[in-house]
Amino acid sequence: MIAVWAAIERNPLFVAIHTALSATTTSELSDLITAPFSWHNTAELQTAAEEAGFHDVRILTRSLLMVFEQGVEHAMRSFSATPASPGVAALSQSVEDALFDRLRSELAPLIGDGKVICEMVSNIIVAHA
């Protein structure tokens, strides 16, 4: 079994991060956030698994609700685990402040009861060797 993220558009937290990066930094930096979501086409996943010698290949798409109990600031801490994090650390303080202000704004629609709540969707390859 192998799991990969579905398209970024199906993962609202990362859409918010990408939008904030795109609005405040370079395209090179904002494009880094899309890397973990770049292998989302289920037909391509199935073909790759079959070409690697697996059989009885099935692709399952699953989603889980992600809840950041402490709200926006809690959700923003997840940014440190992204491929864009080192580049953001190298930004000037004013650009970094603008980025995180924009990210707070982008996360606002995901707030319910003071928590940031969103889905994370992945594709799972199930096959036999």
Structural domains in the chain? 2-128 (3.40.50.150)
pLDDT for position 31:
95
User: How many Å apart are CA 2 and CA 70, to the nearest integer?
Assistant: 31
Give φ, ψ of 103 to 5 degrees. Answer: -60, -40
pLDDT in tens, the chain (129 residues): 899 999 999 999 999 999 999 999 999 999 999 999 999 999 999 999 999 999 999 999 999 999 999 999 999 888 888 899 999 999 999 999 999 999 999 999 999 999 999 999 999 999 999
**Between helices 93-107 and 12-24, what is the axis angle to 10°?**
140
Q: Which amino acid is at 125?
A: I
Tell me which DSSP letter residue 47 carries.
H
**What are the tokens at 65?**
């609700």
Across the chain, how many H-helices and E-strands are there? 6, 4
Give one DSSP letter per residue of 16-39, joined into a string: HHHHHHHHHS-HHHHHHTTGGGS-
Q: What pTM does this model have?
A: 0.89
Using alpha carbons, select from 70, 11, 5 the residue that is nearest to residue 19: 11
Residue 114 CB coordination number (10 Å): 10
